[in-house]
Amino acid sequence: MNQELGPIASILRHVVLLFGALIMLSPFIVMIVTSLKPQSEILSADFTLWPKTWYAVENYRAALTSTPLLLYMLNGVIVTVAIFVLQVLVALPAAYALAKLRFRFRGLMFGAVLLCLLIPMHATAIPVYVLLFKLGLLNTYASLILPFAISVFGIFLMRQFFLTVPDDIIDAARIDGMSEFGIVWRVMLPTAVPAVIAFGIFSVVAHWNDYFWPLIAVGDRNLFTPPLGIAYFKLDEAGTNYGPLMAAATIAITPLVIGFLLAQRRFIEGITFTGMKS
């Protein structure tokens, strides 16, 4: 489908797509514009794209000072990074064993992985909550991180990738004196970098944006992640102090959006790749 369209079809295509793009972008435009306006202008009955009075400094200062928004962002980084690192540490050796070793319960374990792929996060929330409650771990970083340390999806994805790595390389590494763990980290991981990046994008996007589990697991404001922080910001301000609220929303989505704009292709590939396999 790489041929170019004729002039009329081409114009038609742009008209339709630009109209769609306007709708797709409208919340982002409204959010940013509103975050630059004073309350009086926001609540007026005529919407302008360009603020009459610039109120950006005040709104963003309010967003950052009336709630510890930067702390929420830091929590978001800590939680998403910790989850991703643990997922890789747990999933890669398991994926290697499933792809390249011959052991007694391999079929059974892979069956369990396939079964667990079907379980949505929400279905395990109640028992996991009870478990963390009994262990006294609710309201800790651990409660945000531990339940996601296991990614059966990551295991499945990496196993599929490892199957394509030639056995000879693994044998060569054994003869060269590497242990099985050495093979995982020094041979398999470097060859699997593209798959790990795709999985990383998938994992970080999912957990940075996750609202359901943090809402359940933590009540302590010092542990809030950005989605939780924004939701409570809205509650606190009774949802009417729109300037700072939109400023906070802008700040919360910024890291992923910047990452996306910088590495658009990788993000789309990552989400497509993982979406296709999930």
Window 92 to 121, contacts with other proteins (CB under 8 A): 93-94, 96-98, 100-104, 106, 109, 112-120
54/211 with CB nearer other proteins: 211
- The full DSSP string for 123-149 is GGHHHHHHHHHHHT-TTSHHHHHGGGS
* CA–CA separation, 188 and 182 (whole Å): 9
144 contacts other proteins (rule: CB under 8 A): no
Nearest Cα neighbor of 212 from 231, 198, 238, 233 is 231
> Which residues, numbered 166-225, are part of the site for other proteins (CB under 8 A)?
166-182, 184, 187, 190-191, 193, 205, 208-209, 211-212, 215-216
> Which residues, numbered 8-67, are part of the site for other proteins (CB under 8 A)?
9-10, 13-14, 16-17, 20-21, 23-28, 30-31, 34, 42-47
Q: Which stretch binds other proteins (CB under 8 A): 51-59, 63-71, 85-93?
A: 85-93
Report, in Å, the least distance between residue 65 CB and other proteins: 19
Nearest Cα neighbor of 227 from 199, 256, 203 is 256
Report, in Å, the least distance between residue 138 CB and other proteins: 11
Report, in Å, the least distance between residue 259 CB and other proteins: 8
Question: Applying CB under 8 A, which of residues 69, 202, 226, 241 lies at the interface with other proteins?
Answer: 226
* CA–CA separation, 88 and 233 (whole Å): 33
Report, in Å, the least distance between residue 18 CB and other proteins: 9
Extract long-range pairs of 42-47: CB within 8 Å, 24+ residues apart.
Answer: 42/242, 42/243, 43/242
74/119 with CB nearer other proteins: 119
Report, in Å, the least distance between residue 277 CB and other proteins: 7
Cα distances (angstroms) measured from residue 179 to each of 107, 183, 272: 24, 6, 34
* CA–CA separation, 51 and 61 (whole Å): 17
